[in-house]
Amino acid sequence: MTFTRRHFLQTSAALAASAALPAQAQGGKLPFRYAYSPISWQTNIEEAIRVGSRLGFPGVEPFRHNIINYLDRPLELKKIMDAHNIRMVTCSNGGGGNFTTNFHDPALVDKSVTDHIAFARSFIKPFGYCNHFKINMGPRPKGYDTNDEQIKRCADAMNRIGRETIKDGLRLAPHPHVNSLVQTQHEVDLLMKETDPAYVWMTADLAHLVLGGIVPEELFAKYWPRVAAIHYKSASTKLRFNRVVAVPRSGPEAGGHEWFRAMSDADSGGVDFPSIQKFLIEKNYTGWVTLDYDASMIHEGSTMEALLTSEKKYMAEVLKVDLKANMSGAS
């Protein structure tokens, strides 16, 4: 299946396409698995795991700050996950402790590289089954705009980290993210050009791509062999094929918060999920799809558990996911 902008513009009824989703293949079992983000639970990773277990998600994808209480005892956290039949997909980088996530400042790059290699080896590797290391690429430089030298410096750092983590079976998968160092099409293209495909892959977050002016389908067409992981969340319908960075440069919404949409949201047309789902099935994608939802997406008076429950309903009715076959724990 080949994605082009023309193809998707001509597809006027994305939801109608869901009827053609080949979800019944392999007895309803999809080649990929679903996970969720515990970011809204902050450091209460234990409760996040209990909720995921109740909902039947086979995977969870925490950030470093979610697991900070287990930073030096990963196997204790693994034991809790095992008891709830959940696997850790990967653990993203982030703050907490003396940890650096700046890949464009020459004074901080070396420490950032060292910190990330150490974190991957000391915390993620002990789980024994994670196969990628998803990372964000640090803050947008002062003045907001980047230059090619900053992206090339980041690419060099990614090569250095990936060259080490691949030895432990972890594919380094940086995440283009609005208000981070890499958010636009040009920045993604340069990062991919300057990194070695033997060491560096990508985490494709559909909402962040759209908010950064990137068409997810076109990115998949160009870089599919280098996509290690996928995040499902959406953006406003009006941003579809918009090709401009949609979010503010500063303030609480700068990272995309308040601009994200759940798949089941009435204003979620920024991403064509039925077509993306169909593509993943036809490509026999075998990685993880994480519902990367944060607290900004929870409606007033509701909970993340309620939101994820609604998303499971959308997955069953629109994406034609056989929940019994595909939400049965971490087997």
pLDDT at 25 over 70: no
pLDDT at 284 over 80: yes
pLDDT at 94 over 90: no
Q: How confident is the model at residue 190 (pLDDT cuts 50, 70, 90)?
A: very high
Mean pLDDT score across all residues of the chain: 92
* 146 contacts 112 by C-beta, under 8 angstroms: no
Which of 18-32, 94-108, 237-251, 266-280 is predicted with the least confidence, judged by mean pLDDT? 18-32
Higher pLDDT, 159 or 9: 159
Give the C-alpha separation, 66 to 38, whole Å: 7
- Contacts (Cβ under 8 Å, ≥6 apart) of 68: 43, 96, 97
Query: Exposed, middle or buried by CB within 10 Å (0-12, 13-18, 19+), for 203?
Result: buried
pLDDT at 111 over 80: yes
Q: pLDDT tens, 218-254? A: 999 999 999 999 999 999 999 999 999 999 999 989 9
Q: How confident is the model at residue 24 (pLDDT cuts 50, 70, 90)?
A: very low
Q: pLDDT tens, 124-171? A: 999 999 999 999 999 999 888 999 999 999 999 999 999 999 999 999
Give the C-alpha separation, 124 to 247, whole Å: 32
Higher pLDDT, 143 or 65: 65
Q: What is the pLDDT, as a whole number, of residue 28?
A: 87
* 261 contacts 235 by C-beta, under 8 angstroms: yes
* 193 contacts 151 by C-beta, under 8 angstroms: no
pLDDT at 7 over 80: no
Q: Enter the tokens of residue 38.
A: 């515990």
Q: How confident is the model at residue 5 (pLDDT cuts 50, 70, 90)?
A: very low
pLDDT at 3 over 70: no
Q: Enter the tokens of residue 195.
A: 């990194």
pLDDT at 9 over 80: no
Domains of the chain in start order, with CATH, are 5-326 (3.20.20.150)
Q: What is the pLDDT, as a whole number, of residue 95?
A: 75
pLDDT at 39 over 70: yes
Q: How confident is the model at residue 11 (pLDDT cuts 50, 70, 90)?
A: very low
Q: What is the pLDDT, as a whole number, of residue 261?
A: 97
Taking the alpha carbons at both ends of the chain, their separation in whole angstroms is 30
Give the C-alpha separation, 36 to 57, whole Å: 7
Higher pLDDT, 210 or 17: 210
Q: What is the pTM of this model?
A: 0.92
The H-or-E segment that residue 69 falls in is none
Residue in this structure with the two tokens 């429950």, named with its chain if needed: 309
- Contacts (Cβ under 8 Å, ≥6 apart) of 324: 28
Q: How confident is the model at residue 13 (pLDDT cuts 50, 70, 90)?
A: very low
> For the chain, where are the E strands, in sequence order?
33-36, 59-60, 87-88, 132-136, 171-175, 202-205, 227-232, 234-235, 260-261, 288-291
Q: Enter the tokens of residue 289.
A: 């799809």
